[in-house]
Structure 1
Amino acid sequence: MNSIRAATLLRCSQCAVRSTARAGSAQQRLFATSAVLLKHGAVPSFTDVSSPELQSLLTNIRENLFLPAHLSESQTLLIEKEKYRRQLETPTKATIAGEEFTLKPLSRFQRPNGRRSLAAAVELMQEKRDWDNLPNLLQGMKTAAGLRSSRRWHPTLEKVISRLGRAGRQEVLLECLRRGSETGITMNSRQFATDIFTQFHRKAVDNDFNPQDTKKAFSWAEQAAVVMENPEHAGSTNLAGEDDPRTSPEVIGILLDLAAVNSSKNLAGKDDGNKVASYAEKFLNTPVALKPVPADGFDINRWMWAQVPILHGLNLAQTILGPKSKYADELRSRAAALGAQVEEAKTRLELWQATRPPKPVSASGGFKRTEGPKYGLELYMKLIAGSL
């Protein structure tokens, strides 16, 4: 055998040895009992909650939906593929951000559905300690189920936000916004931002504009307006036309109402800090028009969530700023125009509700559907027909 051929064979032999060693090493890594994984950081965890049912659901979500999203590719194969199941007869561990997990067989088809699981958990949340788990729940859903403010998730997130408002847990909503890049709750559209600000406003309305809750609601709404400038929300050097929430007359109008009510309830009706005048100027100068009254009854109800507070704010701002204010005439004109639309919407909503076939209470997308007076009419009765 000549020297060239011998050298070639030697190299091939060494390659074969290295290849076999790599294969063995890969096989060993596949079934390793300990692997430090930081693919998505720590697996979101939960604090104690008020009911065993909610605790069980959150545990199931964490172990069977969140955990698989944090596993390496080889460990994912290990829990999903039938041919590797025998390896799991021996306890097999995965260490993620310092926490040790025991791997168990789990096919993709056995994992909980993200949207339905989120809805079920939210429906079970009752006490403050339950709601405090929501940001981590959303964070896990974003990683494991692709949650984000998109068309696919939007109806679910709308209901989550609405449930937070009804439960009076607006401080949790603000925390979700602060952690928007993690939770997926982002104010990147005019309508979604409007949905969020109506829930901050609700804190004051549901407590009959008492001074303490009015102050809280206004503070939270202003903090949300600051958060809106962050990159994960609407933050950009360029405004996105009519869909940019920073120029939304609905968002600005709700802030105007909260500023006016806060002045009335906490500042003896004076515009200390110039908040009412500032928001009045922003509202009157925004280049974007208010949305017209929609045709569908459900949409009319949602339309009134924002428009009724705006009308209330326009009327109250006139009183606080006084007839000699440079904004007085335009505030009065805009209030008259919007007032006519609100009256039309109220009439149409009452007719729609009276003639609408009754629907049984049932689940909608995992959320319980409830019957009763529409919130748009409740707002009208409190803010326009009432004395709030």
Structure 2
Amino acid sequence: MNVSQRCCKSALRNSVLSCWSTNASARAFSLSAFRQKTGSLPVFQESTSPELSAVLATLNSKILLPAHLNSDQQQLIYRKKNASRLENEPIYVQIGDVEMPLEHIDRIKDVPSRWTVLKQAIELSKDQKDWENVVRMLEGFHLAGIHFKTRHLLKFIRRASEAGMQHIVLRALQQVKTTGLSLKSPEVLEAVLIGIHNMASRSGWEAGSTKKALAFAEQVMELMEKPEHLGTGFAKFGDPRTSPLVIAVPLELAAVRAAKHLDGKDKDGKVKMYAVRLMASFKQDNFLKTSLPRLFSADLKISEDMSFKSKRARSSDYNSLKHKIPAWIPVWYGLRIASLEVLGEDMPMPKDAQSVIALVDGRLTAAVDTIRKEAPRSVNVEELPCIKSLKECGR
């Protein structure tokens, strides 16, 4: 290790920036004490493409490394007058297990947006190691104090789920303290559960996939009880842990598994357990008589009213329904399979269950009709995820 490397590492350890010059009479860059930021840079596995490797390298060198430097060190890399000296007299820093040279960075030309880097990594990921690197990216951002908007995190969840990497999403949730990915966000929770439902349905409800999806759904239920997610004691009104949309997913998976792969028998009692919880959730705050009858009401209009709506309003209805339908499919399908094919007379609150099935079925039909009417001509409606999900459930 050369002298300049040793000097910089010592500076980092002792919270004092050493003199940056071989000329003893030259003024030191900084002799003032400072507090070194704590944290580490992610160590990435070998990726599947040079393009993805370049994205990961850019993340560490242009975004995360500067975020871990103190203000004096940031001035060193951002000031153009230091560029040639950094090139001729390289200084290395070690943050965590990663050692990197300090290089001049033009904040306008050299630094890509954080979202662009994450999006590129998501789009370039092909195998499990690539997706594990995306989780390490999330850790790197979070430890550097960089936070993303919910819609950006949703892209990670949806793309990973589409790639069959639901277990990677769960890993990110399990490591919430370092990734920042929390089920406290209703949108995140919904996207995770839809991804788990799709894992089973898109396999044709194959035995192994359905069993694994049920295990994943139950892991989500357990994670919600942790303080980093939703666990704050007893669930109060509005708590996602008591939402029908949440409870319906493990019910659906348990019911389908029993109906298709366990000879229609509720051998482990999970179908009855989740059915009881789901029907109880409908009783909360008079949900059956108030909230449920208004399902999709903001987006569904009688056909003759459509002509009075602006093109923008109709587009808003169409896009809203595309995202709402998948969340309600497990309620409809889970109750139907549980009551008709597994539990029969043992179904809790059977009359209310049939009412829910009929009401949701009618609203799903109306929603699909609206989507067919309002979809742009360029869209193949039959290939929309919401339509495909309904077909996978035999509708």
TM-score (norm. length: structure 2): 0.79
Cα distance 1:120–1:177, how it changes in 2: closer, same or farther (>3 A)?
Answer: same
Misfit runs of 4+, over 6 Å: none
Matched, 1:45 2:40: no
Residue 122 of structure 1 deviates from its aligned partner by 0.5
Q: Matched residues in 1 for 2:347 and 2:227: separation?
A: 37
Structure 2 residue aligned with 1:349:
371
Matched, 1:340 2:340: no
Cα distance 1:349–1:371, how it changes in 2: closer, same or farther (>3 A)?
Answer: closer
Residue 172 of structure 1 deviates from its aligned partner by 0.4
Unpaired runs of at least 5, structure 2 = 1-15, 21-27, 300-316
Matched, 1:281 2:281: no
Counterpart of 1:345 in structure 2: which amino acid?
A
Structure 2 residue aligned with 1:11:
none
Aligned residue for 2:100, secondary structure, equals strand
Cα distance 1:246–1:48, how it changes in 2: closer, same or farther (>3 A)?
Answer: same
Question: Do 1:308 and 1:384's aligned partners in 2 also have CA atoms closer than 8 Å?
Answer: no
Q: Matched residues in 1 for 2:323 and 2:39: separation?
A: 38
Matched, 1:63 2:61: yes
Q: How does 1:43-122 map to 2 (within 5 A)?
A: 43-85=41-83, 87-88=85-86, 89-109=88-108, 110-122=110-122
Cα distance 1:276–1:103, how it changes in 2: closer, same or farther (>3 A)?
Answer: same
Q: How does 1:119-158 map to 2 (within 5 A)?
A: 119-144=119-144, 146-148=146-148, 153-158=149-154
Structure 1 residue aligned with 2:10:
none
Structure 1 residue aligned with 2:25:
none
Structure 2 residue aligned with 1:382:
392
TM-score (norm. length: structure 1): 0.81
Q: Matched residues in 2 for 1:125 and 1:39: separation?
A: 31
Aligned residue for 1:100, secondary structure, equals strand
Q: How does 1:174-323 map to 2 (within 5 A)?
A: 174-237=170-233, 239=235, 241-242=237-238, 244-286=239-281, 287=284, 289=291, 292-293=295-296, 294-295=298-299, 296-318=317-339, 319-323=341-345
Residue 26 of structure 1 deviates from its aligned partner by 6.0
Q: Give per-residue Cα distances to partners, 1:147-170, cap 9 Å, x unaligned.
A: 24xxxx122222221111111110
Counterpart of 1:108 in structure 2: which amino acid?
R
Aligned residue for 2:267, secondary structure, equals coil
Q: Matched residues in 2 for 1:28 and 1:198: separation?
A: 56
Structure 2 residue aligned with 1:171:
167
Q: Matched residues in 2 for 1:335 and 1:275: separation?
A: 20
Q: Matched residues in 1 for 2:184 and 2:295: separation?
A: 21
Counterpart of 1:373 in structure 2: which amino acid?
E
When Rg is computed on C-alpha atoms for both structures, the one with the higher figure is 1
Q: Matched residues in 1 for 2:236 and 2:346: separation?
A: 35
Q: Matched residues in 2 for 1:172 and 1:324: separation?
A: 37
Residue 74 of structure 1 deviates from its aligned partner by 2.3
Given the alignment, which residue of 11, 19, 26 partners 1:28? 19
Cα distance 1:259–1:351, how it changes in 2: closer, same or farther (>3 A)?
Answer: same
Q: Matched residues in 2 for 1:98 and 1:132: separation?
A: 18
Q: Matched residues in 1 for 2:278 and 2:29: separation?
A: 62
Structure 1 residue aligned with 2:302:
none
Residue 192 of structure 1 deviates from its aligned partner by 2.6
Q: Give per-residue Cα distances to partners, 1:118-140, cap 9 Å, x unaligned.
A: 11111111122211212101112
Structure 1 residue aligned with 2:308:
none
Counterpart of 1:251 in structure 2: which amino acid?
V
Counterpart of 2:189 in structure 1: which amino acid?
A
Cα distance 1:133–1:239, how it changes in 2: closer, same or farther (>3 A)?
Answer: same
Q: Matched residues in 2 for 1:316 and 1:186: separation?
A: 31
Residue 376 of structure 1 deviates from its aligned partner by 0.9
Aligned length: 342
